[in-house]
Amino acid sequence: MKYAILTLMLLSLGCTVREPIAGRADPYQRHQVNFADPDLANRTAVSPPMTERRNGLLYVTVPVRSSVNRDLHVDYRVTFFNENGIPIEGPGNWTAGPTLIANTPSYIQFNSLSGNAADFQLDLRYAQ
């Protein structure tokens, strides 16, 4: 009798349904301009992006400059999102960006390939 109860207990432990492992919520909101390296973020200054719609496509200009007394070589990639925040284009491949001349305004310009683009995300890194 003792063994029967012990066997039933062991069998019932093996048949339990385990709770799913849930991901934790990200406390940070998505930004339009992101940096792959905090050092690059600290060495640049980015003004608010300017957008316009022409022929149904979203055109974006991001003012950015080196805020140190040194030229910076950067790469960038772009992801476009629809009005629901779902990615519809990208992220694309890394593209060689402009050389950010020390303390001189520069611009990174790009456009969507689809008329469904409502928002974008620009990722910057040091040139590889």
- The CATH number covering residue 94 comes to 2.60.40.3230
Can you give the residue range of the structural domain that contains 73?
31-126
Amino acid identity, position 74? V
pTM of this structure: 0.78
User: In total, how many domains does the chain have?
Assistant: 1
Over the stretch 65-77, which tens digit does the pLDDT of each residue have? Answer: 999 999 999 999 9
Over the stretch 24-63, which tens digit does the pLDDT of each residue have? Answer: 888 888 899 999 999 999 999 999 999 999 999 999 999 9
Structural domain contains residue 16: no
DSSP annotation string for the chain: -HHHHHHHHHHHHHTPPPPP-PPPPP-SPPPSEEES-HHHHHTEEEPPPEEEEETTEEEEEEEEEE-SSS-EEEEEEEEEE-TTS-EEE-----EEEEEE-BT--EEEEEE-SSTT--EEEEEEEE--
Structural domain contains residue 55: yes
Structural domain contains residue 24: no
